[in-house]
Amino acid sequence: MGQTDDKPMAEVQHVDDSRPGEWSLESVLPKNGKPWYKQRHFLLLNLGMIIPYLSSTTNGYDGSMLNGLQSMSQWQNFFDNPAGTRLGSLSNGVIFGQILAFPIAPWLCDHTGRRFPIFIGSALLVIGAVLQCAAQNYAMFLVSRMIIGFGGLIAVEASPMLVSELAFPTHRSVLVGYYNNLWYLGSMLAAWVTYGTYFMGPNTSWAWRIPSLLQGAFPLLQVVFVYMLPESPRYLVQKDRHEDARKVLVKYHAGGDDESPLVDYEMKEIILQIQAAKSGSKTGYREFLSTRGNMHRLFIIIAVPCMMQLSGNGLIAYYLHLILNSIGLTSDPQQLRINGGLAVFNLGVSLALASLMEVAGRRRLFLFSTVGMLTCYVIWTILSAINQERGFHDSSLGTGVVVMIFMYQFFYNAGLNGPPWVYVTEVLPTHLRAKGTNIMQIASTCVLIFNGYANPVAMGAISWRYYIVYCCVIAVEIVLVYFWFPETKGHSLEEVALIFDGEQAFGIDSKEERSGDA
């Protein structure tokens, strides 16, 4: 994040309510010559984002933990070596819980704000983690994972919304980009925790119970601290609490300056956009089919999560042990070390790449990511095929596959880790953001169910040949991004609506205006 004065501030001008499309964020940005970390209000706000970030961290912990548990003989023996659909059900246990939460999560976000869903979802996650640790059989472990999925979805839907709607305008893309990147912090911790507890002994169930219990640590922090963050000013305006919304913006965006032109600008943008949305709003989810702009949004919020989960990353996230088995790397400690090393690599790379969203833009990163992933998957497939033909006797081929896995993750992180949540929260207007995020989660869940059941079965049946499917899928993604993903870089949340709806986004009929001007 750069300084708040990275653009020159013009003399404060009257904002013309009738032509929002001509407003300029640049003209109202404060000019004080200080970086954000030397300004108390920015420091408090940006550090506070750690609380909603932990929803992503917990999500990442789950995937890596299950990977680690599958490489543990203690866990395999306790649950009688689950495989095929039985293993798929454990992976999808979280998904089953998420499905139950779909009708509830957007309602909570729209009617109780953004903080309460994080609180209640995190509380359920803590309960699920305790039950997971105490599991005495397969059924209890599965039920605990359903509770984790139920609470996790509620928290995950609200968290990026809160970050996006609270962030200072010029900090938003980086802050929201960090949200999904913190998935890898949880992944890294789970990978190394499972590696450490593996050596507790071959006959102790605490080798897998301790990592299971620690899954509740981050949600517990959210339960304790989430109400230290302010509520979303956009939610407050949506509930006609304009004065409360203004207080949040004055305190955290203007450092207490009640006369700040930036606050006036933000309030007018938010109010006009929400009023226009309310006046033309249809009933529920049908509004996504009411205009061409909304149908374009609907396409994007379905395509993006499918790309995030259906680009072959599901194999690495939940079935890395099957990939490593397929190339002859079968040692438990060896697999756990690779899992841990990959998690550290992902965290470092994703954080380093997060700032590129404001340099390269969203669309370019999507293209860079998909083209790079396709290249890696093609090479990965070829090496795996040759390795199998040679009976896994050439260790360099196995090493080559591991290198391609790391390279694939580099390209995945560049475009499909941080940018998606930034992009989705930007293209959705405030009144559709909760419902749109829910649609995104539903699309993601459908793909995850496929991954949970199809991946272990297909890997067991056809091994490396399954990679060809993902090569084809990623090729299609490149085409979709090139033709249907507009750039949103450099716009406020309200200004992005102009890309999809034109000036009607602010309740202006451009045709009437042009005829009047004539």
Are 45 and 166 in contact, with CB atoms under 8 Å apart?
yes
Cα gap 477→131, rounded to integer Å: 39
For residues 457-464, give the mean pLDDT: 79
Mean pLDDT, all residues of the chain: 85
* Residue matched to tokens 């070829």: 382
Q: Tally the C-alpha atoms within 13 A of residue 507's C-alpha that lie toward its C-beta.
A: 15
Q: Which residues of 41-77 are buried (b: 16+ CB within 10 A; e: fewer)?
A: bbeebbebbebbbbbbbbbbbbbbbbbbbbbbebbbe
Please report the pLDDT score of residue 279 as a whole number. Answer: 66
- DSSP string for residues in 90-109: HHHHHHHHHHHHTTTHHHHH
Cα gap 305→299, rounded to integer Å: 11
Residue 511 has pLDDT above 50, yes or no: no
- pLDDT band for position 20 (cuts 50, 70, 90): very low
Please report the pLDDT score of residue 14 as a whole number. Answer: 38
* Residue matched to tokens 């249809």: 282
Residue 509 has pLDDT above 80, yes or no: no
Please report the pLDDT score of residue 318 as a whole number. Answer: 64
- pLDDT band for position 4 (cuts 50, 70, 90): very low
Please report the pLDDT score of residue 506 as a whole number. Answer: 61
Cα gap 9→79, rounded to integer Å: 64
Residue 518 has pLDDT above 60, yes or no: no
Q: In three state form, how does the secondary structure of 233-254 look?
A: HHHHHHCCCHHHHHHHHHHHHC
For residues 147-171, give the mean pLDDT: 93
Please report the pLDDT score of residue 180 as a whole number. Answer: 81
- Identify residue 366 by its one-letter amino acid code: F
Residue 380 has pLDDT above 50, yes or no: yes
Helix axes 292-309, 467-484, angle to 10 degrees: 150
Residue 299 has pLDDT above 70, yes or no: yes
**Is the pLDDT higher at 116 or at 19?**
116
For residues 290-314, give the mean pLDDT: 92
Lowest mean pLDDT among 260-269, 279-288, 310-319, 369-378: 279-288
Please report the pLDDT score of residue 447 as a whole number. Answer: 87
pLDDT in tens, 213-272: 999 999 999 999 999 999 999 999 999 999 999 999 999 999 999 999 999 999 998 998
In the chain, the largest separation of any two C-alpha atoms, in whole Å, equals: 84
- pLDDT band for position 514 (cuts 50, 70, 90): very low
Cα gap 517→311, rounded to integer Å: 50
pLDDT in tens, 314-359: 777 666 777 887 777 778 788 888 888 888 898 888 888 877 777 8
Q: Where are the domains of the chain?
A: 32-229+280-487
Please report the pLDDT score of residue 471 as a whole number. Answer: 94
* Residue matched to tokens 């005829």: 515
**Is the pLDDT higher at 395 or at 283?**
395
**Is the pLDDT higher at 208 or at 89?**
208
Are 73 and 328 in contact, with CB atoms under 8 Å apart?
no
Please report the pLDDT score of residue 127 as a whole number. Answer: 97
Please report the pLDDT score of residue 177 as a whole number. Answer: 80
- Identify residue 458 by its one-letter amino acid code: A
Alpha carbon 346 to chain centroid, angstroms:
14
Structure tokens at 134: 């105490």
115-119 CB contacts, 8 Å cutoff, 24+ apart = 115/158, 115/162, 115/226, 115/227, 115/229, 115/231, 117/154, 117/155, 117/157, 117/158, 118/51, 118/52, 118/55, 118/154, 118/155, 118/158, 118/159, 118/162, 118/222, 118/226, 119/222, 119/223, 119/226, 119/227
pLDDT in tens, 95-141: 889 889 988 998 999 899 999 999 999 999 999 999 999 999 999 99
Please report the pLDDT score of residue 9 as a whole number. Answer: 32
Give phi and psi for 27, each to the nearest 5. Answer: -75, -15
- DSSP category for residue 230: P
CATH of domain 32-229+280-487: 1.20.1250.20
Are 31 and 64 in contact, with CB atoms under 8 Å apart?
no
pLDDT in tens, 50-92: 999 999 999 989 878 887 888 888 999 999 888 777 887 887 7
